[in-house]
Amino acid sequence: MRIYLDTGFFIALSDARDKNHTRAKMYLKKQVQSGARFVTGRNVVVEYIDGVTKRVSKIKAIEELENILSSKLLVIEPVIEQDWDKAIMFFKKYNDQQIDLTDCLSFAVMERLEMNTALTFDNDFKIHGFEVQI
């Protein structure tokens, strides 16, 4: 099974003070043991690492980036032009929701890869019709 990782999952996993930290760790362990593999978009990596840089430190951001880049369980999917075009369409479609462009880009990547499950702590993926784990 392939599961898409959203920014909030990375935050919860790395920050022991995050309210979802324990759940994220336990869920990840369970999924790894069951043979799951993970995918995230470059857009998610950028959003997460930028947040760590600004809120924690550049040193921690570099450490987190190295962890992500060296993971044998995670594929970082590039964004292609068709993803971008679709993300813009989704962003406009959800004009009555607070769904951001990063999530819309993730939706497009997931659809292109024919994925339907995301690890996230927000409702945006569910609104779009994906299964949300955790």
* pLDDT digit string, tens, across residues 39-65: 999 999 999 999 999 999 999 999 999
Going by C-alpha positions, the residue among 133, 5, 120, 15 that lies closest to residue 64 is: 15
Domains and CATH numbers, the chain: 2-133 (3.40.50.1010)
Q: 133 falls in which pLDDT band (50, 70, 90)?
A: confident
Does pTM top 0.75 for this prediction? yes
Q: 130 falls in which pLDDT band (50, 70, 90)?
A: very high
Q: What is the rounded CA–CA span in Å between residue 32 and residue 72?
A: 11
Mean pLDDT value of segment 104-108: 98
Note the pLDDT tens digit of each residue in 19-33. 999 999 999 999 999
